[in-house]
Structure 1
Amino acid sequence: MELLKVNGRLNTKKLTIGILVPVVGGSIVGWLANRNSQEKYNKLDKPSFSPPAAVFPTVWTILYSAMGVAKYRVDLKNAQKSREIPAIKAYDFQLGLNFLWSFLFFRWGLRGTALVEMTVLLGAIALTTYEFFKVDRTAGSLMVPYIGWVIFALALNYSVWKLNK
C-alpha cells in the first residue's frame, strides 16, 4: 500500500483516474482498432517468438495500470506547483502514440509505418521515464517494464512486417 501513498497520503480519486485513463482508453482503442482485424492478423506469418494472443490484453492491462500509478505519483508530487511539468506532457504524448499504434498496425495494416511510429514511441517512453525519475524514483521505476515490453513489441512488429512484405 505504500506504493500508492505519496508524502504519506493516498488520493483515491486521482489514483482511480490515473489508472482508468490508460486501462479504459487502451481497452477502447484495442476494441476499435482490432475489430474485424484479428482474422487478417491470424493469417499473417509471425516469428517463432510471437506469444499467444491472450498474452497481450493481460500484459497491457498490467502495464497500463503501472503507468497510471506512475502518473498518479508524479501528479501528487507536482500538486504544489501551479504549472504542468515536462513529465506530464511527455506522458500524455507517449500515451497518445501508444493508442495510435494499434490503429496503424491492426486497423489500417500499415505495419512499416507502425514500426517507425513505435520507434518514436519508445523514445517518448524513455523520455517520460527519465522525467518521472526526476520527480519520483518509484514512478520512474514503474515505467521500466513498459520499456522492456515495447522493445519486445518493436522486435515483433519488425518481424511481422519483414515476414509479410
Structure 2
Amino acid sequence: MTTFIPSLTLPAAVFANPAASVLLPIALGTAVGFSCRPKETQKTYMALKQPPFRPPPQVFGPAWTLLYGLMGFAAYRAYSTGLAPTASLESHLLTKQGATLYTIQLGLNLVWMPLFFVAKRPIEATVDILALSGVVGYLAYVWGQVDPVAGWALAPYLGWLGFATYLTIGVGHLNGWNLQDKEVDFPPSSKPKSTKYVDEK
C-alpha cells in the first residue's frame, strides 16, 4: 500500500489551487505532445497496423485535454475536501496518500508517448500503461473514500485508459512488437478526408 511520500508528490500548492490543479496536467500533457513532434507522431500512427475501433489521430488531442482537466479537478476536489479542518484524520491520510499516487500516475502518463512514438518501444509502453491503469484505479478508490465526486471524476480517465491499453497491445501484437521504421511519407492533414491506415485497402 502506497503511503504519502513527499519527495514523490507535487507541491501542496498545486492541489490547493483550482486553476493550477486543472491547468498543470493539461500544460504538461501538451508540452510532451509537442516535444514528440506531432506531425512525425501522426505519420507513425498512420503507418501502423491497427486493431478494430481505433480512432483517427485528431481525436486524441481533445480527448486528452478533457481527461487532463478532469484529472486536475479530481485532485483539487479531493485535496480541498480531505484536508478541510472538519475532515477526519483518516481523510487527511487518504488525501495525502492519493496525492502521491496522483503524482506517480501523472509521471507514468507523460512517459507513455515518448516510449511508444519516439523510442518506439511497444513492450515498455504496454508495461507503462498497465501500471498506469492500476495506479489510477487505486487512486480512484482512495480519493473516492475522501470524496465520491473526486473518485467518479477519474472514471472517464480510467475508461479511456482501458481503451488505450487495448490499442497499445493491439498495435504491438499486429506489428510484431516492433515499431522501428514505421512511418508514412505524409501526415494525415496532407490528405483531406483520409483516415486510412496501411492495413486498409
Q: TM-score interval w.r.t. the shorter chain? A: 0.7 to 0.9
Give the C-alpha shift of residue 135 in structure 1.
Answer: 1.1
For 1:137, the equivalent position in structure 2 comes to: 148
For 2:187, the equivalent position in structure 1 comes to: none
For 1:101, the equivalent position in structure 2 comes to: 112
For 1:39, the equivalent position in structure 2 comes to: 43
* TM-score normalised per structure 1: 0.86
Note if contact 2:45-2:57 (Cα within 8 Å) is conserved in structure 1: no
Query: Superposition RMSD on alpha carbons, in Å?
Result: 1.7
Relative to structure 1, the CA distance from residue 134 to residue 34 in structure 2 (aligned partners, 3 Å threshold; closer, same or farther) is farther
User: Structure 1 runs of 4+ off > 6 angstroms?
Assistant: 81-84
In structure 2, stretches of 5+ residues that fail to align are: 1-15, 177-201
Alignment partner of 2:71: what SS?
Answer: helix
Larger radius of gyration: 2
Matched, 1:122 2:136: no
Q: Distance in 2 between matches of 1:40 and 1:140?
A: 35
For 2:60, the equivalent position in structure 1 comes to: 56
Farther-moved stretch of structure 1 (29-38 vs 118-127): 29-38
For 1:6, the equivalent position in structure 2 comes to: none
Matched, 1:151 2:189: no
For 2:12, the equivalent position in structure 1 comes to: none
* TM-score normalised per structure 2: 0.72
For 2:29, the equivalent position in structure 1 comes to: 26
Q: Identity of paired residues, percent? A: 35
In structure 1, stretches of 5+ residues that fail to align are: 1-12
AA matched with 2:97? P
Q: Distance in 2 between matches of 1:39 and 1:51?
A: 15
AA matched with 1:60? W
Greater percentage in helix: 1
Q: Distance in 2 between matches of 1:145 and 1:37?
A: 24
Count of aligned residue pairs for this structure pair = 153
Relative to structure 1, the CA distance from residue 164 to residue 92 in structure 2 (aligned partners, 3 Å threshold; closer, same or farther) is same
Give the C-alpha shift of residue 101 in structure 1.
Answer: 0.6
Alignment partner of 2:154: what SS?
Answer: helix
